[in-house]
Structure 1
Amino acid sequence: MNIRQGTAADTEAVAALHTRSWRTAYTGILPQDYLDGPLADRQAVLWRERLAGGHTGHLLVVDGGDGVAGFAYLVPEGERVLLDNLHVEPGLKRSGIGGVLLRHARDHAGSRELYLEVLKRNTAAIAFYERHGGIRAREFVERFPEGFEVDVLEYYWSGMRSDTVPRRSSHAS
């Protein structure tokens, strides 16, 4: 599995995968008119901004046979690192890609705490994070600019390298 640092050349592929992932994972969780409507444009703008330079985030990309198979985006925040995105091509879930990306994210965080936010109704992702040692920290409501709200959970991993935690290679998010 080839994992590399993402670049501006990955913008389109990452935005498209991000959109496919949300449309698959969040059907029934987010409003369908949002998923079918402005989501693709929103993701394209987000990734153009992030990968144009000037951002402190770090993009990890997994190359697949037909393009980007998965990615993770990390944002350093002092003593913590936000795992802002971890997405795997929907047809490749449970292939081990998600687990590898999570281990690389933990390694990248080093001694800092790694954390993420996940929609409370995204039970598959929650199960994945808990299988990989994520600890639930808090719950809150996030309001989207489009006018809807969702319940969100925060999970974290204490600052340590992933090689100190048992590997689980049969699952992906």
Structure 2
Amino acid sequence: MKIRPGAADDVEAIAELHTESWRSAYAGIMPAGYLDGPLLEIHRELWHARLDSEQYLNGGPPSCLLVADADDGGRGVTAFAYLTPQRDERILLDNLHVQPGMKRSGIGRRLMGQGLGWAAAHHPGRPVYLEVLRDNTPARAFYERMGASLSREFVESFHAGFDLDVVEYTWAPEVAREVSAR
């Protein structure tokens, strides 16, 4: 597995993986009609907005997109992570997705380590956090194994008209540095 910085040419592969990951991980958690709907188009728009932005193209990204490519050349993008600074001085790990068939292969751990390393290097002293659906127990167990601490619980209202329980996990700056060095 090779991990590299993501680029605008990765939009389609990232949107497809993002959608595949949601449909797998959130089955039985999110309404089936939503998961079976136009998620791919929504994710394409999101990633085009992120990667085609003037800020990303001119002078480098303020955020960090890491992409894992398969060594065999046949699968393309097998995982990705996206981190971005927030106005509250924290770093949001907004996405960490691994192809469903590649979970527990170690690629999520490698992406997490590199992402936390990026945060420690470019934004020293800032905590990193993420939000995950409460009922996504495999993801929650992974984040806990990676040293995250439960920091908040809340209900999120989705634009499609449903509400879900969400939990927030945080890596204190010293924990993020430690995890990135593993």
Tell me the TM-score normalised to structure 1 length: 0.91
SS at match of 2:93: strand
Q: Does 1:102 align with 2:116?
A: no
Between 1 and 2, higher relative CO (CA 8 Å, sep ≥ 6) is seen in 1
User: Structure 1 or 2: larger strand share?
Assistant: 1
Gap regions ≥5 residues in structure 2: 57-61
Q: Residues 107 and 161 of structure 1: is their aligned pair in 2 closer, same or farther, counting only changes over 3 Å?
A: farther
- Aligned CA RMSD, in angstroms, stands at 1.5
Distance 1:163 1:97 in 2: 18
Percentage identity across paired residues of the two chains: 54
Are 1:149 and 2:163 an aligned pair? yes
Paired position in structure 2 for 1:171: none
Cross-structure match for 1:61: 67
Relative to its length, the structure with more helix (as a share) is 2
* Corresponding position of 1:48: 48
Contact 1:139 1:154 in 2 (8 A): yes
Q: Deviations over 1:111-134 (max 9, x none)?
A: 321100000000000000011111
Q: Match for 2:102 among 79, 87, 92? A: 92
Equivalents in 2 of 1:81, 1:148: separation in Å?
27
CA distance in structure 1 between the partners assigned to 2:106 and 2:46 by the alignment:
26
Give the paired residue count. Answer: 167
Alpha-carbon shift at residue 162 of structure 1 (Å) = 4.8
CA drift at 1:164: 2.4
The match for 2:29 is 29
In 2, are the aligned partners of 1:21 and 1:90 still within 8 Å (CA)? yes
User: Which residue pairs with 1:76 in the alignment?
Assistant: 85
